[in-house]
Structure 1
Amino acid sequence: MLNHSALAGLLLAGGVVALMAGSAQAVGFDLEKECPGNLIVNGGFETPDPSQPDKYPKAPWNTYNKGWGWFTSVPGWTWTCLRVDWGPPRALEIQRRAVATAPEGMQNLELLPNATGVACQTVSLQPGASYKLSFQYGRLMTYAWRNADKGKFIKFETTADAIYRDATTKAPAEEGAKGKPYPQDAQGFTKLVTADTRQQKEQWQRYEATFKASAAGAPASGKVQIAFTTTMRPKECGSCGSLLDAVCLQKA
């Protein structure tokens, strides 16, 4: 198994930069055209469709409408790569213009700290090749429905890290994880870039990071886990999350 120092030799982060997502890009942005050769499956979170929840595995303890739904299976994505502080059952929330207009397609993911706080995908990289990861990160903006802020329009401030590690690395055991500080330790992941709504002028902003997959220390499987994880919850609502869309991983 590849250790953490060897993985650092596999993926060398460099040229990390954050870019604003202008309104022109947010309207009619086509991920397939803008990201040829995308290594990410379902990077726009267009599947599953919350308006057709019976077609997909969904969380049994949740209600659904045409705007959002919690699903226990989302094509390309999982949460099992990272231990979090919310016990099972877990789910990923897909939104269909529920609280925001997605910058790409009709749907986006909400990184919910109380459900998983993480979304991850395993990809295959070519040793020696350079790659660019880009994504749209959004601020949750809605009316509070309880507590002292009930009825107020709030812009929830959050941060999330785009991280990576060798796909053969296993997440720590879940036992005893619930109730501990969030997030847990790095668990073998290395950070590529941090998305921070406090630095965003618009609801959505594009972030990107470039890195190189070196031949030295490459995992035998050639597979790496790319993940997004919540690193700061909104103070007004510990169960409210941040928005993710248009995830693209391609050769630079």
Structure 2
Amino acid sequence: MRVKEIITILDEIAPFDTAEPWDNVGLLVGDPAREIQAVVVALDPCFEAISYAKEKGAGCIVTHHPLFFHPTRSLNLEDATARKVRLLMCWEISLVSMHTNLDIARDGVADVLACALRLSQVKDHGLMRTGMLDEKIALSAWIKTLPFANIRFVDAQRMVHKVGVCPGSGMDMWREAYACGCDTFVTGDVRYHSAQEAGEAGINIIDLGHYGTEEIMVKPLMKRLQRQLPGIYIHAYECRDIFTYTKESED
């Protein structure tokens, strides 16, 4: 199967023309006419994912995050991005990005995040989803049930029942969640003053980190491609979080 045929399938899953105007999606590096036998799915186009693709004999990597967002003026090999491009070209590996188009797609990142939070009656608000818990629960108690390793939160002293979620850096959408009647908003990359403002407005904030809200999409996308690309080996590379976290004292 050729890279361009893989791209056609990816476009059916999450149309590239639905990405945000500032985004950079689609084929970023490589030859659309190249025949491939294996694909690697990863969160980031990191060096480790590229090496893993070579190890698996994959001719294409599908990442959530693009290798570059802005026009590139030069490919200076002192720069990490340029070195990644060199590896991809030398090893004949194409790179395709599915970013905000995958965030908003049906069964995309936002839906997978809502599912991980066990929300029901999920409604689509573009980059955001809203959903309900089966019954009201205290914020501290709900957090203990969540399948995420690193959680920060702002407790606005409200029970959790209707929840808004936005993967990645979605804190700009807390007001929309609040306007929809949400008592809790879940996202990543929450900044101090934004969290303070939201908490004072009366909405709980949960920060799962950028990585936490998006890495969960890698395996579901791998499984979907396995179903839709019979005869092509599909592998998942689990990128590590770029942050290292200290553990709080138990005292």
More helix by share: 2
Name the larger-Rg structure: 2
User: Which TM-score applies when normalising by structure 1?
Assistant: 0.23
More strand by share: 1
Higher RCO structure, 1 or 2 (CA under 8 Å, sep 6+): 1
User: Which TM-score applies when normalising by structure 2?
Assistant: 0.23
